[in-house]
Amino acid sequence: MEPLGFGAIFAQAFVELWLVWLVLAALMGTSFVLRKRLGLYGQLYDSWVGMVGLALVFFWVITALLADYVLPFDPQQQFASMKRAVPGAFTPEGQVMLFGGDNLGRDVFSRLLKGSQTVLAIAPAATLFAFMVGITLGLPAGFYGKIIDTVLTFLANLVLAFPVILLFYLLVTPGIRDTPIPTTMAAILFFFPIAFFFLFFYSRYKTRPDVLWMQLLAVAVVGGWMYMGLAFNSDPLGILAMDPNTLNIFVSVVFVNSPTVFRIVRGLTMDIKTRDYVAAAQTRGERPWYIMLWEILPNARGPLIVDLCLRIGYTTILLGTLGFFGLGVSPESPDWGLSISEGRKIWRSVEHVALPPALALMSLVLGLNLLADSLREQSLKD
């Protein structure tokens, strides 16, 4: 059969994703109607920059969630006759490969959709963990100053002076998985979220033991459960698990991002601690951690939310870089960075293999950047 033309390819790709469009339209339509009542999120619908950003991000999130239902092919299945097939070519069974086949005869379109899952599973979670670490260390550094600040800032600068790419080559090589380094780093870094929530509740409800014990128990149980599952891969319930590859990437990404978050939080804290409401809290006799977590942190949320958005985008780029160098991904995974690198090797003969994952990664990061820009504008309006 003749391969499809470009118009037909895009029309059919559009139809293949009908479920995604449906959910996207429902989600954004409802939000648009209710935008006046949705606070900061609703305000994003006031500018078209924010809407485009949201649409791009939601598109990939929904695609990642529904990928298994909309995939036309198994992303690992190899068709001997479809090696480097042009976009719109048909398999012997009469199915169409919309974006053609890659070097091993796998469907580029299916791998593209499947690849969104890895990115969207790791990037936001790793960024959130980095924020927990950065906040838990940045608040006391900015608040107390002196020796804590000097030591922590030196450590942060130490990590920041390290070229990212070199750090990844050292931390994400296959050999390092045989050493206890990734698990040790995970054990340290994953401890911070638990410490954060513990302090968060303790500083506020210290005088009300009846509420406090329940919250602390919840933190201990949920945190402990996730800690066992993620850091040591030994979840007693068997639900949470991270294979050594993913753990290695995850830990490295958190490690690289935390110092920057630390610096931002430290700077914001130093600025905010001179405000009158902090002085008022101090006069009331509030404890330092209460002031940091319940007075300073909520007032620093604007810049932090903007940075969170930008940082998820940056982490996506980092993950792509890792995949591009083949670090920490198995050779047959549909990871975008890896697909770009694979496609690049054969771009002299066929262009279509590297282009779709490249554009996909770009559109996701672009969406996050637009979202951050729009959030910044909204927060300036207040």
Q: Which residues bind other proteins (CB under 8 A)?
A: 154, 157-158, 160-166, 169-171, 173-176, 178-179, 181, 313, 317, 320-321, 324-325, 337, 340-341, 343-344, 347-348, 351, 354-355, 358-359, 361-362, 365-366, 368-370, 373
Task: Give least dist CB 4 to other proteins, A.
Answer: 19
Task: Give least dist CB 266 to other proteins, A.
Answer: 17
The residue among 132 and 350 lying less far from other proteins, judged by its C-beta, is: 350
C-alpha 198/C-alpha 218 separation (Å) is 10
Tokens read off for 296: 């300073």
The residue among 55 and 164 lying less far from other proteins, judged by its C-beta, is: 164
The residues, ordered by sequence, that sit 6+ positions from 246 with a Cβ below 8 Å of its Cβ are 122, 328
Other CB atoms within 10 A of residue 374 CB: 24
Quickly tell me which residue has 């050493």 as its tokens.
179
Task: Give least dist CB 126 to other proteins, A.
Answer: 17
Quickly tell me which residue has 């329940």 as its tokens.
214
C-alpha 312/C-alpha 317 separation (Å) is 9
Task: Give least dist CB 103 to other proteins, A.
Answer: 15
Tokens read off for 245: 């590859």
Q: DSSP letter at 242?
A: -
The residue among 174 and 298 lying less far from other proteins, judged by its C-beta, is: 174
The residue among 147 and 166 lying less far from other proteins, judged by its C-beta, is: 166
DSSP codes, 131-168 = HHHHHHHHHHHHHH-HHHHHHHHHHHHHHHHS-HHHHH
DSSP codes, 73-131 = S-TT---GGGTTPPTTEEPTTS-EETT-B-TTS-BHHHHHHHHHHHHHHHHHHHHHHHH
The residue among 104 and 366 lying less far from other proteins, judged by its C-beta, is: 366
The residue among 193 and 323 lying less far from other proteins, judged by its C-beta, is: 323
Task: Give least dist CB 117 to other proteins, A.
Answer: 19
Task: Give least dist CB 273 to other proteins, A.
Answer: 21
The residue among 249 and 368 lying less far from other proteins, judged by its C-beta, is: 368
The residues, ordered by sequence, that sit 6+ positions from 374 with a Cβ below 8 Å of its Cβ are 44, 47, 49, 50, 53
Task: Give least dist CB 116 to other proteins, A.
Answer: 15
